[in-house]
Amino acid sequence: MAKGDEGFKKDVNELMPDLVAAWECVKESLHGCRTVHDDLIHMPAAYKNMRIDENSHLAVLLPSTQGPGICSYMMLEFLFRKHNKFMESYCEKISSRYERLPEVSMRKLHSNHLVSYHPDRDLLPLVLANCNYSFELGKGTTIEYDFEGFEYQLKEVILQAKSRVEQKSHVIPIDQMIYRADSGNVAVFKTLQDRIPQEPLSRAVKLQIVSELKSSLPDVCDSINNLDITTSFLKSLGGEPDKPLQIFMTAVLKMKQTITSQKVRQVCEFRHVQSLWLLLTFQKSVILAEHHQDPFSNLDSEHKVDLCEEERTNVLEFCQRKSPDKLEFLLQEMFDCLLLWVAVPADNSDGPSPKSMSLKDLLQGHLDRSLNSDEGLGTRSSSTDQTLTEEDIDSLPPGIKGMHIPNTWLLLLQEISRRRKEM
């Protein structure tokens, strides 16, 4: 471990016993809970009486709705919910409104926000401070406790100025480790499509949404998280395609913050959920790439193979023959194709793996499956720069396969940025 990690190592060594103790206290009470993505999950029998110690698999400590991480996920959910219920009861006792307590999301939580104390360091001093000793001949030592004083100080030190953990429509959002094999965009949107037919947003609306987000990564990430919660409900509940998305998120799910774009709040409906999710996720990846971060860090090495020099040269030559607008449209289509059809768990079918298929075939298949059934290739827009024609797809370098999409995507983005600066 590097020198800069010594502090982290110390924290782990100090906190590990607390985590183990918490697990032993609550594990028999962990039966099931609701999650943002998986609706209702239950503790698998294999983990119900599992013992956690310093030799346990690392995955146990990383919250997830699948695998060993379900232990820490359900324990966190249980403890957060208990905290909220305790604070709600406390507010009733002191005739205060629970809703007035500040609400803090999990990622911003600190021990100061929660009811947290150490028996020796926090409680014992309060007991001693409100304990009166007296000595009388013949009677010995008499101990009297100032219970009113103890109660007052207990509230001031332990309970005062605490917060409630953020809940969104009765679900406590918990950041979790997403493993590559758990990617299920196709399954999620297929279920959604079966219940609510999906349609794409127009290019004009997409451009306005992107301009309103102003390349703010926190705004984009918060919007994606809120849309994920909404999608998990819609794929289960269904609804009319033309129902306003904003009204559902605020009136039904009781979200205080929804999507950080006025245009989305004005025009997006249930039928636009998939298109909006792809757009927001695309924008997040663009921002990460522009800040020299890997937007595809969640993909395994099999799905992001680098281009060889000859293939890079072929891609750059292809870019020189296309306008920046055309390349931007291609960038979005490649990204959608990657998320929906390439970087997904294998279905064990006899057909070729998407990662081994040519980019030409993948794009053609993706566009053929496009939800925009009324618009074929070459008729999506009055401008040929805002669509992909048969000629465009045929002119793509033949050696590029699905596994090359992330590297090709980054190369195209760099080329677009360079040409935009020169204009």
**3-state secondary structure at position 375:** coil
Do 147 and 248 have their domain in common? no
Do 40 and 125 have their domain in common? no
What single-letter DSSP state applies at residue 251? I
Per-residue pLDDT, averaged over 158-175, amounts to 88
**3-state secondary structure at position 30:** coil
| pLDDT value for 298 | 73
Asked if 396 and 363 count as a contact pair (C-beta separation under 8 A), the reply is yes
Do 207 and 144 have their domain in common? no
Q: Which of 270, 295, 320 is the last residue of a domain?
A: 295
Closest CA to 326 of 374, 371, 393: 393
Task: Classify residue 341: in a domain, yes or no.
Answer: yes
Please check the confidence at residue 382 and state whether its pLDDT lies above 60: no
Please give the residue range of the domain that contains residue 135: 116-159
68 vs 99 pLDDT, higher one: 99
| pLDDT value for 287 | 93
Please check the confidence at residue 37 and state whether its pLDDT lies above 90: no
Question: Strand 39-42 vs strand 32-35: parallel, antiparallel, or unpaired?
Answer: antiparallel
Query: Would you state the structure tokens that stand for residue 156, as one six-digit string?
Result: 């001031």
Distance CA 216, CA 267 (A): 21
Percent of the chain with pLDDT over 70: 89
For residue 181, name the pLDDT band (cuts at 50, 70, 90): very low
| pLDDT value for 185 | 65
- Coarse DSSP helix, strand, coil percentages of the chain, rounded to the nearest 5 percent: 60, 5, 35
Query: To 10 degrees, what angle do helices 273-290 and 217-237 make?
Result: 160
Q: Which of 27-31, 55-59, 291-295, 393-397 has the lowest mean pLDDT?
A: 55-59
State how many domains the chain has.
4
Task: Classify residue 413: in a domain, yes or no.
Answer: yes
Measured at the alpha carbon of residue 329, what is the angle toward residues 328 and 332, in degrees to the nearest 5? 90
Do 129 and 240 have their domain in common? no
**3-state secondary structure at position 39:** strand
Residue 236 vs residues 45, 186, 249: alpha-carbon distances, Å: 26, 15, 15
What single-letter DSSP state applies at residue 168? B
Task: Classify residue 33: in a domain, yes or no.
Answer: yes
Per-residue pLDDT, averaged over 363-385, amounts to 55
Do 54 and 38 have their domain in common? yes
Q: Which of 78, 110, 142 is the last residue of a domain?
A: 110
Distance CA 168, CA 173 (A): 7
Question: Strand 164-165 vs strand 39-42: parallel, antiparallel, or unpaired?
Answer: unpaired
Do 131 and 200 have their domain in common? no
| Burial environment of residue 4 by CB neighbours within 10 A (0 to 12, 13 to 18, 19 or more) | exposed
Asked if 52 and 60 count as a contact pair (C-beta separation under 8 A), the reply is yes
For residue 62, name the pLDDT band (cuts at 50, 70, 90): confident
Asked if 166 and 143 count as a contact pair (C-beta separation under 8 A), the reply is no
Condensed to tens digits (0 to 9), the pLDDT of residues 400-423 reads: 999 999 999 999 999 999 988 887
Do 276 and 303 have their domain in common? no
Do 318 and 200 have their domain in common? no
Task: Classify residue 9: in a domain, yes or no.
Answer: no
| pLDDT value for 283 | 94
Residue 158: beta bridge partners? none
Helix boundaries (H) for 238-352: 245-247, 262-267, 273-290, 309-320, 324-337
Do 308 and 228 have their domain in common? no
Task: Classify residue 402: in a domain, yes or no.
Answer: yes
Do 223 and 153 have their domain in common? no
Per-residue pLDDT, averaged over 234-253, amounts to 92
Please check the confidence at residue 378 and state whether its pLDDT lies above 50: no
Task: Classify residue 279: in a domain, yes or no.
Answer: yes
Do 288 and 303 have their domain in common? no
Distance CA 365, CA 402 (A): 12
Do 204 and 284 have their domain in common? yes
